[in-house]
Amino acid sequence: MPLEVRNDEVRNEISPTSAVGSIPATPASLTDAPSRHRVIDKKFIAVMGALGGAETLRFTSRKLVLDHKFAAGAPWISRLPTNQHVVAGHAGIFAAELLIAYELKKPHSWLPGDKVIRKLWWANPTAMVAVHIKNGVDNMRTQGPGGCTSIECAMSKCNDW
């Protein structure tokens, strides 16, 4: 059996003689409070995710190129960097790019033309996405001497000379 309690009965039970328990009829408006500018939103996450993916493509393909050249005996590669070293270095670069995009998107009262700058926060990360993808694809297209893509082909070309 449900118990029904009316709103004014609860108000009278809380404090029958004062207005402490009463609910105001109109909500108070906060017009003096500044509105918070949301910096990390769906667009920010999407753009920075694309940048992270493009950087991962670039440094993974570069690491594979170094691995293959070292295995083929390239004299200019004395040792391979560890994976942790490569990831830590590139994570630092990504963190710097993330911080720059965050600072450009966030409002600054002291900066003239701040509204224009805040609208163009995405320009640098998207340009860097294109650069990283191009470098990654170029790394994947790396060929051996004489246009060979396998070690056997490269060895036969060297023996032809």
CA distance 112 to 114: 5
What's the pLDDT tens digit per position in 114-125? Answer: 788 888 899 999
Would you list the domain boundaries of the chain?
A: 39-142
| Nearest-angstrom CA–CA distance, 45 and 42 | 5
Mean of pLDDT over the chain: 78
Mean pLDDT of 91-118: 88
Extract the tokens encoding 67. 């691995």
Query: What confidence score (pLDDT) does residue 11 get?
Result: 53
CA distance 8 to 14: 10
Residues 6+ positions from 153 with CB-CB distance below 8 Å: 144, 146
Q: If you compute the radius of gyration of the chain from its CA atoms, what whole number of angstroms results?
A: 31
Tokens (6 digits) for 79: 């040792």
Mean pLDDT of 63-92: 86
Among 30-39, 93-102, 117-126, 129-138, the least confident range = 30-39
pLDDT at residue 161 in the model: 46
